Chains A and B, each alone.
Chain A
Amino acid sequence: MKKIAILGAMTVAGLSAGVASAATLDDVKARGKLNCGVTTGLVGFAAPNANGEWEGFDVGVCRAVAAAVLGDPTAVEFVPTTGKTRFTALASGEIDLLARNTTWTFSRDVDLGFEFVGINYYDGQGFMVPKDLGVSSAKELDGATVCIQTGTTTELNLADFFRANNISYEPVPIETNAEAQPLYLEGACDVYTTDASGLAATRAAFENPGDHVVLPEIISKEPLGPLVRHGDNQWGDIARWTLNALIAAEELGVTSANVAEMAASAGNNPEINRLLGTEGTLGEMLGLDAEWAKRAIMSGGNYGELFEKNIGENTPIGLARGLNAQWTEGGLLYSPPFR
């Protein structure tokens, strides 16, 4: 009987499938878990550790949203997606939030019907070549074989760059970053191109990183950010402002170490008070309680802490803050005010 009911429901819902259900927040609360789409594995950004727990920079965003909404940073069901399955997983409602180093582009935002809620990493596409190739600029790469991940914006950027400079190349399509490494090292391609963060991580894992250079050209803008479905603005707001809370927390000097103390009573910085819910009703406006941002920050620290722990200069990946520094320090991170 239950089967029949399900079949009936499927027929009805089949007609409206793909259309977002309106109240993602209610679904998530009812489920008690946030379904968060991540990559199947990208060094520093998302990968399970030896105990099977997901770790990484993108994972931190998932955990912060779960902490804000459900009060528990571990209440996340991580759904691994590939470059090809990520958008269908989000569109079909299998996941509530996609935090999978996805580039914010016009067509993805408008045509595919998604809503990017912000940018958690400013990246750009670069090139890595072996030192003995003797190349010092990407414009000298005429006729080179290039390892490139399929189904990503890097593929399109590469074509644009070579066409604009009127030089030719031979693409070697690959599926994942992990696949690219041995191919590149064995010399199956002269050049490996992907986001500069990925290049740094890849190079750091080489036996002799000094034998390889990352060329100075950055040929694209790759603003990577989490995204949600069109049509549920409340849910989009929650994701957007959770990310902003992490960024603002760094700017305001709120860390996972002092957030509990700062949230205990209203201090003398009104913006911190509003952020942490000791003043005003920002949480209520989002449909959450007053301490949502406090929990999000406690889950893994503010933006800077997440960065340092997962991909910063003290990790094997060793990325500098660069564009991802706060606007006060010459970077691009700029959270709108909490008011």
Chain B
Amino acid sequence: MSDTHAQTVAFVRDTMLPEQPPPASEAGVIKWMRENLFKGWFNSILTLLSIYFIYKIVSGAYPWFANGIWNTSSLAECREMLDGMTGACFSVLTERWNQLLFGFKYPTEAYWRPTLAFVLLLVAIAPVLYPKAPRKLLVFTAIYPFLAFWLIWGGTLLTPLLVMVGLIAGYFAFKQFERQSFSMGMLAGLVATVVVIWAGGIFPASMPDLLALQAIPSRDLGGFMLNMILGTVCVSLSLPLGILLALGRQSSMPIIKWICVVFIEFIRGVPLITLLFVANVVLAYFFPPGSNIDLVLRVIIMITMFSSAYIAEVIRGGLAALPRGQYEAGDSLGLDYAQSMRFIILPQALKISIPGIVNVAVGLFKDTTLVSVISMFDLVGMIRGPILASTEWNGVYWELWGFAVFVFFIVCFSISKYSQWLERQLATDHR
């Protein structure tokens, strides 16, 4: 049968032709451009317009960067050197970088301390953020808050050490009484912590110089460091608080439920800036003169309250998304409330809530710049106040604000990239 067509077709190819490269318009860059940039007249016009605008922006901004001056000591000198040319005066960054990062009152010789605390922060959060990081690092994570406090605020190491010992004692007491009931354990833990800290209070008081770093009052903190401190502390404090509030809101005990509802709804109904003004201005009226609670502490409390209300609502969403069967499964296994929450409900609910929590965290981090309106010198406060008001740098705007944008973008973009990665890892959409 192989010669069926022998009479009808004059020629039959019996070998394969070698592969040809695709035509130039269907390969490589040209194909990509055709498909993505010039598909149809409408897209072509849009592309040309975009190229035109990009060209305008780049050609306008390039000399500003390229002519940038890095080594003068005042704006007037900068302008003299530029001599009418367009150019940035980045000297303000080289001269005042330390104030932008650490505030203007943090002692220069102590800059290594917050820097070290920041590097250690990366180590400490690694095991929390990456499941693959060695588990043993979690011990360091537990120690980190005390270490960071000591590094940044200074004073004797005994103070944070004492608080840590107190918490450890509390943990053991909790473990002891947990068998009876969860709430008994919590109570015992709390009592043990308070007793140990109260009784041990004599040690730091009697030996203020043992293992002491130079103590730095918190009104001397400033710059981007303050944003980082407020952001990190408030996010990590508001997460547990938010979980408690979310559970409280779903509780069947009316008093607890109503306390939580009122708290959440009140805080969510008030702008953060109002709370900050309360922290700064109104609270001062309630304390006797001279015995003010530290301003940074007041602000941390207010921001934590604010963000915990939002996180509580996010987590409530996660809790509501769990099928009823999960709760019933916990009950049918004979677990009590605390156990079923810890082992069954919360791990699932938190997983669902991750994008929302990260969203709140990014928003919160940016909101920390609001403290500049209550005359605290965070990054924005430093720029708005002291630096722009100095005789040398009065009038430099783009360089300073550009720096602030740059720094905040790096942090917020990394957080959001991390959360996308985490979502992929956990595949929360049940595909």
Which residues of A approach B to under 8 Å, CB–CB? Answer: 1-2, 6, 9-10, 12-14, 17-18, 21, 27, 31, 39-44, 46-50, 52, 79-82, 84-85, 88-89, 91-94, 175-179, 181-182, 201-202, 204-207, 315-317
Residues in B neighbouring A43, C-beta threshold 8 A: 389-391, 394
- What is the CA–CA distance of A206 and B397 in the complex, to the nearest angstrom? 12
Instruction: Using A40-B384, A41-B384 as known contacts, say yes or no to A10 and B286 having CB atoms under 8 A apart.
Output: yes
Q: Pull 11 A–B residue pairs with CB atoms less than 8 Å apart, ordered by A.
A: A1-B198, A10-B291, A41-B387, A50-B96, A52-B104, A91-B285, A92-B281, A181-B395, A205-B395, A207-B79, A316-B391
- Measured between C-beta atoms, what is the minimum distance from B283 to chain A in Å? 9
Q: Are B375's CB and A81's CB within 8 A?
A: yes
Check B99 for interface membership: any CB of A closer than 8 A.
yes
Q: Which of B288, B373, B384 contacts A17 (CB 8 A)?
A: B288
Chain A: which residue is nearest B388 at the CB level? Answer: A178
Residues in A neighbouring B99, C-beta threshold 8 A: 48, 50, 52
Chain A: which residue is nearest B395 at the CB level? Answer: A205
Q: Which of B75, B284, B292 contacts A88 (CB 8 A)?
A: B284
Residues in A neighbouring B290, C-beta threshold 8 A: 27, 31, 93
Chain B: which residue is nearest A206 at the CB level? Answer: B395
Check B287 for interface membership: any CB of A closer than 8 A.
yes
Q: Which of A21, A31, A201 contacts B394 (CB 8 A)?
A: A201
- What is the CA–CA distance of A317 and B390 in the complex, to the nearest angstrom? 11
Check B105 for interface membership: any CB of A closer than 8 A.
yes
Main secondary structure of the interface of B (DSSP, over half): helix
Interface residues of B in 373-425 (CB under 8 A from A): 373-375, 377, 381, 384-392, 394-395, 397
Instruction: Using A13-B287, A14-B287, A205-B395 as known contacts, say yes or no to A40 and B390 having CB atoms under 8 A apart.
Output: no
Q: Are A42's CB and B389's CB within 8 A?
A: yes
Question: In the complex, how many residues of chain B place their beta carbon closer than 8 angstroms to a beta carbon of chain A?
Answer: 41
Residues in B neighbouring A46, C-beta threshold 8 A: 389
Chain B: which residue is nearest A186 at the CB level? Answer: B397
- Measured between C-beta atoms, what is the minimum distance from B376 to chain A in Å? 8
Interface residues of B in 93-114 (CB under 8 A from A): 95-96, 99, 104-106
Residues in B neighbouring A14, C-beta threshold 8 A: 285-288
Q: Are A9's CB and B391's CB within 8 A?
A: no
Residues in A neighbouring B385, C-beta threshold 8 A: 40-41, 47, 80, 176, 178
Residues in B neighbouring A13, C-beta threshold 8 A: 287-289, 291
Seed contacts A6-B291, A47-B390, A89-B284; 16 additional CB < 8 Å A-B pairs: A2-B201, A9-B291, A10-B288, A40-B381, A41-B390, A48-B105, A49-B390, A52-B105, A79-B219, A80-B377, A80-B385, A93-B290, A176-B384, A178-B384, A178-B385, A201-B394
Check B123 for interface membership: any CB of A closer than 8 A.
no
- What is the CA–CA distance of A132 and B134 in the complex, to the nearest angstrom? 68
- What is the CA–CA distance of A200 and B285 in the complex, to the nearest angstrom? 38
Residues in B neighbouring A85, C-beta threshold 8 A: 280-281, 374-375
